[in-house]
Amino acid sequence: MSAPIRPTALVGARLLDGRSPDAIANGVIVTDEGGRIAGAGGTVSISAPKDADRIDLSGLTVLPGIIDCHVHMALQLEPVHDQVQRSATDIVVRCLQAGREWLDGGVTTIRDAGYCPAGIKRAFASGAFPGPRTQVSCQPLSQTGGHGDDWTPSGAIVATEMSDLPPAVADGPDAVRRATRLQIRAGADWIKVMATGGVMSAADFPDASQFTVEEIRAIVEEARAAGIRGTLAHAEGTAGIKNALRAGISSIEHGDLIDDEGIDLMLQLDVPLVPTFNINFALMDEGRIARGEVPPWAVEKMRYLFNRQQASFRHAVDRGVRVVMGTDSFHGMYPPAELAYMAEYGLGPFRAIQAATIEAAKLLGLSEEIGTLEAGKVADLIAVSGDPLAEPELWREPARIVFVMQGGRVVADRRLV
Q: Are 378 and 388 in contact (CB under 8 A)?
A: no
Phi, psi angle pair for 354, to nearest 5°: -65, -35
Helix (H, G, I), strand (E, B) or coil at 181: helix
DSSP symbols for 99-153: HHHHHHTTEEEEEE-SSB-HHHHHHHHHTSS---EEEE-BSPBB-TTSTT--B-T
Q: Are 273 and 313 in contact (CB under 8 A)?
A: yes
Q: How far is CA 248 from CA 120, 147, 219, 231, 395, in A?
A: 28, 20, 10, 9, 33
DSSP structural state of residue 5:
P
Q: Which residues contact 256 (CB under 8 A, 6 or more apart)?
A: 206, 236, 237, 305, 308, 309, 312
Q: Which residues contact 224 (CB under 8 A, 6 or more apart)?
A: none
Catalytic residue among 189, 204, 328, 380: 328
The reply to whether 328 belongs to the active site is yes
* Beta-strand pair 230-235/251-254: parallel
H or E, element range at 237: none
From CA 370, how far away is CA 124, in angstroms rounded?
17
Catalytic residue among 121, 192, 242, 301: 192
Q: How far is CA 3 from CA 23, 33, 48, in A?
A: 33, 11, 22
The reply to whether 192 belongs to the active site is yes
From CA 192, how far away is CA 207, in angstroms rounded?
18
Which positions are annotated as active-site residues?
192, 328
